[in-house]
């Protein structure tokens, strides 16, 4: 495990996927002194990347030429598999380390890593914990799956974008850690929202309940760091009408991935499945772009 203070050498890095998370991550690689060759399908994302010091390219395969590392932040496993097969393998030098920071299903992460190995590349899956603000600030946590050698090579790149880089084990284990963590987060947020809603209905002032629970046995990150009640605790998306942060649609995506992974492992989560059901209903009601803590408004 390491953080941002590690010693680094200048590298040439391709960055594929410059959305809400990827744009800030690529900018932090530039700030760390690396040459970043960026690609995205959206012209606006490419313009923003250029303004932050990235060189931009019309094709991902062009961005990958001559690089020391490839970093990707993409929407789903199908896109990850297609991008690596079509634009990375055979285009990036064989010595480049491949780092996929997307949140995707465990099976696809392992499949793409195996294909990379067949093509002669070292590859890791390195999904992140932390939202847009953490991506911009370079304070993400990376959960990394891959061989010890691949992790060692990827660590230097990831440390420029995060506060912690943790080796979770073999290929796919980064994704496993991410979806288990976010399943727990979804469960905690629903529980926190229900507790605040019930406290208010029983006549407790929200701030008073926070003052008690945040130093008692019910305290959790969703309470003390990401409180879903406006004006209570540290500043959170609740104080901005639930805008920004971690969108409900993304929480639902992670919960669905968790349920898929559990099924392949022969497990049937009960509370996790209920959390997925509640967030699916909340998303279907038109709340997909709101922060996931907005689920408190359902009570």
Q: Which of 253, 237, 48, 18 is nearest to 133 (CA)?
A: 237
- Given a contact cutoff of 8 angstroms between Cβ atoms, the answer to whether 165 and 2 are in contact is yes
Catalytic position from the list 52, 81, 178, 253: 178
- Given a contact cutoff of 8 angstroms between Cβ atoms, the answer to whether 261 and 218 are in contact is no
- Given a contact cutoff of 8 angstroms between Cβ atoms, the answer to whether 29 and 160 are in contact is yes
Torsion of CA 227, 233, 238, 241, to 10 degrees: 170
DSSP 64: T
Q: At what angle do helices 248-264 and 173-201 cross, to 10 degrees?
A: 120
Phi, psi of 143 (to 5 degrees): -105, 115
> How is residue 28 written in tokens?
């932090």
Neighbours of 285 (CB within 10 A): 10
What CA–CA distance (Å, rounded) separates 160 from 157? 6
Q: For tokens 């701030």, what's the residue?
A: 207
178 given a catalytic annotation = yes
For 99, how many CA atoms within 13 A lie in the half-sphere containing its CB? Answer: 33
Residues annotated as catalytic are 178
């Amino acid at each position: 495990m390491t953080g941002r203070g590690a010693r680094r050498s200048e590298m040439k890095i391709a960055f594929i996927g410059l959305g809400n998370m990827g744009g800030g991550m690529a900018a932090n690689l530039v700030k760390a002194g690396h040459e970043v060759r960026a690609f995205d399908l959206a012209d606006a994302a490419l313009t923003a990347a250029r303004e932050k010091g990235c060189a931009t390219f019309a094709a991902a395969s062009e961005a990958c030429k001559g690089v020391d590392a490839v970093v990707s932040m993409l929407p789903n496993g199908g896109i990850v598999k297609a991008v690596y097969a079509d634009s990375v393998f055979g285009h990036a030098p064989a010595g480049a380390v491949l780092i996929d920071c997307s949140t995707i299903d465990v099976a696809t992460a392992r499949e793409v890593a195996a294909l990379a190995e067949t093509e002669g590349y070292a590859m890791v899956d390195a999904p992140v914990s932390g939202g847009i603000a953490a991506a911009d600030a370079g304070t993400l946590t990376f959960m990394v799956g891959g061989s010890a050698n691949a992790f060692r090579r990827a660590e230097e790149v990831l440390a420029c974008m995060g506060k912690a880089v943790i080796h979770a084990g073999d290929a796919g284990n980064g994704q496993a850690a991410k979806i288990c963590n976010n399943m727990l987060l979804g469960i905690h947020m629903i529980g926190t929202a229900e507790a605040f809603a019930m406290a208010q209905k029983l006549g407790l002032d929200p701030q008073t309940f926070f003052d008690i629970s945040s130093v008692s046995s019910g305290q959790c990150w969703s309470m003390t760091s990401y409180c879903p009640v406006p004006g209570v605790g540290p500043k959170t998306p609740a104080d901005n009408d639930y805008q920004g942060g971690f969108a409900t649609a993304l929480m639902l995506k992670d919960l669905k991935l968790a349920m898929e992974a559990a099924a392949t492992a022969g497990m049937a989560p009960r509370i996790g499945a209920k959390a997925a059901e509640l967030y699916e209903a909340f998303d279907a009601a038109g709340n997909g772009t709101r922060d996931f803590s907005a689920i408190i408004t359902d009570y």
